[in-house]
């Protein structure tokens, strides 16, 4: 399936209601408004195709960029490739749910995520913290350094309230994910969540929201989700 055909198939799946919702979350034209689940049959035909993924990502069409993440070959992407993708990720649904997700399936994931966290730019930091959430929710605990993650929890406790809004959200998710999906630091993450407390988040034109990691942690514990690992990162 070539580039033109994929674009035609994505356009045929357009949904005006979804398009408005994506725009409300920060997406910009061009976009079609395609439900992610509707992309799966197309992805099954293509499987992995990095050259096509690069063509689609370069369109700046949100739906094409999202689909690029589904068919990308993370192991074929270099640090420079991921940086280039981040350059094109103009809002959080791209940075945290396309680029960070794709990075989470690469061997260089932690190296790149660490660099982004230290970058200081809102969406790069957000993608870095989000990548760790995807990693922790999928990979064995043995692949991580407990001392490193403990230091990251300390960093979150110190800096979350003064961080940019999207970074706050990703940091909040990091506390929650460590508590649920990384057993060696379960107790420390719970203590961190208590110390952090409610986090105010400004959502642009939407009403401000309050993030509370401890509440989400306890909900998942009540559901018996301690130690949860997902089989796949990408859909």
Q: What is the pLDDT of residues 109-165, one digit of tens each?
A: 999 999 999 999 999 999 999 999 999 999 999 999 999 999 999 999 999 999 999
State the pLDDT at residue 234: 83
Q: What is the pLDDT of residues 39-65, one digit of tens each?
A: 999 999 999 999 999 999 999 999 999
Task: List, for residues 161-202, the tens digit of each pLDDT value.
Answer: 999 999 999 999 999 999 999 999 999 999 999 999 999 998
Q: Which pLDDT does position 235 carry in this prediction? A: 64
pLDDT band at residue 28 under the 50/70/90 scheme: very high
Whether the model clears a pTM of 0.85, i.e. scores above it, the answer is yes
SS3 string, the chain, reads CCHHHHHHHHHHCCCHHHHHHHHHCCCCCCCCCCCHHHHHHHHHHHCCCHHHHHHHHCCCCHHHHHHHHHHCCHHHCCHHHHHHHHHHCCCHHHHHHHHHHHHCCCCCHHHHHHHHHCCCCHHHHHHHHHHHHHHHCCCCHHHCCHHHHHHHHHHHHHHHHHCCHHHHHHHHHHHHHHHHHCHHHHHHHHHHHHHHCCEEECCCCCCCEEECHHHHHHHHHHCCCCCCCCCCCCC
Please report, for the chain, the start and end positions of each structural domain, with discontinuous segments joined by +: 109-235
């Amino acid at each position: 399936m070539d580039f033109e055909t994929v674009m035609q198939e994505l356009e045929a799946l357009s949904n005006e209601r979804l398009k408005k919702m994506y725009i409300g979350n920060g997406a910009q034209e061009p976009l079609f408004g395609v439900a992610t689940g509707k992309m799966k049959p197309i992805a099954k035909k293509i499987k992995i195709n990095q050259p096509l993924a690069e063509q689609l990502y370069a369109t700046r069409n949100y739906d094409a960029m999202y689909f690029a993440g589904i068919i990308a070959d993370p192991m074929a992407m270099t640090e420079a490739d991921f940086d280039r993708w981040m350059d094109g990720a103009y809002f959080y649904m791209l940075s945290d749910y396309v680029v960070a997700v794709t990075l989470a399936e690469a061997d260089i994931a932690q190296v790149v995520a660490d660099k982004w966290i230290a970058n200081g730019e809102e969406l790069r930091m957000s993608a870095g913290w989000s990548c760790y959430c995807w990693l922790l929710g999928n990979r064995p605990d043995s692949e991580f350094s407990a001392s490193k993650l403990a230091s990251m929890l300390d960093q979150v406790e110190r800096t979350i309230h003064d961080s940019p809004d999207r970074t706050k959200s990703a940091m909040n998710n990091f506390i929650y994910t460590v508590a649920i999906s990384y057993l060696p630091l379960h107790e420390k993450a719970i203590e961190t969540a208590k110390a952090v407390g409610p986090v105010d988040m400004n959502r642009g034109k939407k009403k401000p929201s309050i993030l509370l990691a401890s509440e989400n942690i306890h909900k998942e514990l009540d559901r018996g989700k301690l130690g949860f690992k997902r089989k796949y990162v990408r859909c």
